[in-house]
Amino acid sequence: MTDIVSSQTDMKFSGFSCTSKGRALETAEYDPKTLKDLDVEIAISHCGICHSDIHLIDNDWGNSVYPFIPGHEIIGQVRALGRSVKHLNIGDRVGVGWQCGVCFICDLCTSGYENLCPDSQPTCVGRNGGYANGIRVDSRFAFPIPSALSSENAAPLLCGGITVYSPFREYDIKPKDKVAIVGVGGLGHLAVQFANAMGCEVTAISHSADKEDEAKSLGAHRFINSSNAFLMSQANDSFDFVLSTVSVDVDWQKCLDLLSPNGTLCFVGASPTQISVRLMDVIMGQKRVAGSGIGSPHRIKEMFSFAARHDIQSMTELYPIGQVNEALDRIREGKVRYRAVLEMR
Ligand code: NAP
Ligand code: ZN
């Protein structure tokens, strides 16, 4: 084991780097971080492109650290092991999502909420992520991928999938619940599938009328075109849970209006602005405005086993890594159906 580790230490990694706000990515070579005792080195085969990568490339959130290699929906094979890694083997197929480290000792970490740890380490903020041929990460954030899932289809589950699965569990959504998924993109098309598999009555709400048939084939029982004010107002007061996955600022009051009393409007889509809703509606309807970020390691494992059992599949467009900039532009233009995935070939 030690020999395998040392044979990798001199190897440079290569990937596609973002050097400043909004710029096209460029090829780059770099030294990987030191392989620590609990780390694994992964030979990356696939990486999904989450819209959060675009927010980072464009510095929408104001926290981007350039240069960096984006990518946090990573799948590949374990190529080297730190000397204390016991639960993974060379050759295992594993995945890494948004989070690659936590403190492991705070109250949140020790109660199963590692995703909320104040010392959370994002995979591609201040470090290099997955648009590359390799990565070294803490093995506790490298998750085995069920054999039922192909790498291309599983990669988007590592961020998009867990981000929409976790709020259903945290907010205790029940099969009887009426659920609306706002935005049928990378996250939204997975949310429709998870909600359907959980037995909910599912409505997809989209500003793209041409997504209706696919949204229904993914498991939506109903489809509402959000550009149609009449159809939207007809749906007011009718949902127990509204999950917003949109990447831009829209009229959030219209989303709140969709809730029946006691309902929850949950944000996972992370537009960089503030939300504004009528407080009296929240109070008098006893409504909740809530949020959810990724999911903890135990939830990721649970999500993978649920996805494998219920045949949750990302619909993907596959791009060789050399076409990363074309793929990013197609996402910016809203053309991808529904997740672009890079293949390292
Ligand atoms: P995506 O694939 O680009 O999908 C975003 C969707 O937003 C689009 O498909 C579109 O849906 C909707 N949208 C875009 N422009 C719109 C407009 N002008 N008006 C109305 N709707 C519009 O992005 P994604 O990868 O799913 O990510 C979605 C958001 O989730 C991003 O902000 C991302 O950063 C965030 N995110 C959050 C977490 C977390 O932990 N909370 C994790 C991952 C991602 P329709 O065409 O159907 O309307
Ligand atoms: Zn993401």
Please give the mean pLDDT across all residues of the chain: 96
Higher pLDDT, 267 or 273: 267
**Ligand 1 atom having least distance to the Cα of 270:** 32
% of the chain surpassing 90 pLDDT: 95
Mean pLDDT, residues 259-274 taken together: 96
pLDDT of residue 6: 39
Mutate to test the pocket of ligand 1, among 246, 249, 294, 314 (most ligand atoms within 8 A of CB): 246
pLDDT of residue 10: 65
pLDDT of residue 273: 85
pLDDT tens column, 172-208: 999 999 999 999 999 999 999 999 999 999 999 999 9
pLDDT of residue 291: 98
| pLDDT above 60 (res 39) | yes
Mean pLDDT, residues 13-42 taken together: 97
pLDDT of residue 11: 85
| Residues contacting ligand 1 via CB (< 6 Å) | 50-52, 55, 159-160, 163, 183-188, 206-208, 211, 245-248, 250, 268-271, 292-294, 331, 334
The protein residue with its alpha carbon nearest to ligand 1, atom 23, reads 51
Q: What is the 3-state secondary structure (H, E, C) of the chain?
A: CHHHHHHHCCCCEEEEEECCCCCCCEEEEECCCCCCCCEEEEEEEEEECCHHHHHHHCCCCCCCCCCECCCCCEEEEEEEECCCCCCCCCCCEEEECCEEECCCCCHHHHCCCHHHCCCCEECCCCCCCCCECEEEEEHHHCEECCCCCCHHHHHHHHCHHHHHHHHHHHCCCCCCCEEEEECCCHHHHHHHHHHHHCCCEEEEEECCHHHHHHHHHHCCCEEEECCCHHHHHHCCCCEEEEEECCCCCCCHHHHHHCEEEEEEEEECCCCCCCCCCCHHHHHHCCCEEEECCCCCHHHHHHHHHHHHHCCCCCCEEEEEHHHHHHHHHHHHCCCCCCEEEEECC
pLDDT-derived band of residue 317, with 50, 70 and 90 as boundaries? very high
Are 161 and 338 in contact, with CB atoms under 8 Å apart? no
**Ligand 1 atom having least distance to the Cα of 55:** 34
pLDDT of residue 107: 98
Report the C-alpha gap between 58 and 21 in whole angstroms: 5
pLDDT of residue 141: 98
Q: What are the sequence ranges of the domains in the chain?
A: 13-156+314-343, 161-291
Ligand closest in space to the Cα of 98: 2
pLDDT of residue 7: 42
Mean pLDDT, residues 66-95 taken together: 98
204 alpha carbon – ligand 1 mean position (Å)? 13
| pLDDT above 80 (res 3) | no
Higher pLDDT, 4 or 278: 278
Higher pLDDT, 324 or 274: 324
CATH fit for domain 161-291, picks 3.50.50.60, 3.40.50.720, 3.30.360.10, 3.40.1350.10: 3.40.50.720
**Ligand 1 atom having least distance to the Cα of 205:** 47
pLDDT-derived band of residue 345, with 50, 70 and 90 as boundaries? confident
Mutate to test the pocket of ligand 1, among 117, 245, 265 (most ligand atoms within 8 A of CB): 245
Same fold for the domain at 13-156+314-343 and the one at 161-291? no
The pTM assigned to this predicted structure is 0.97
CATH fit for domain 13-156+314-343, picks 1.20.1340.10, 3.90.180.10, 1.10.260.40, 3.30.9.10: 3.90.180.10
pLDDT tens column, 100-157: 999 999 999 999 999 999 999 999 999 999 999 999 999 999 999 999 999 999 999 9
% of the chain surpassing 70 pLDDT: 97
37 alpha carbon – ligand 1 mean position (Å)? 37
| pLDDT above 70 (res 9) | no
**Ligand 1 atom having least distance to the Cα of 246:** 7
CA distances from 122 to 65, 87, 312, 328 (A): 12, 22, 25, 20
302: tokens are: 């649970």
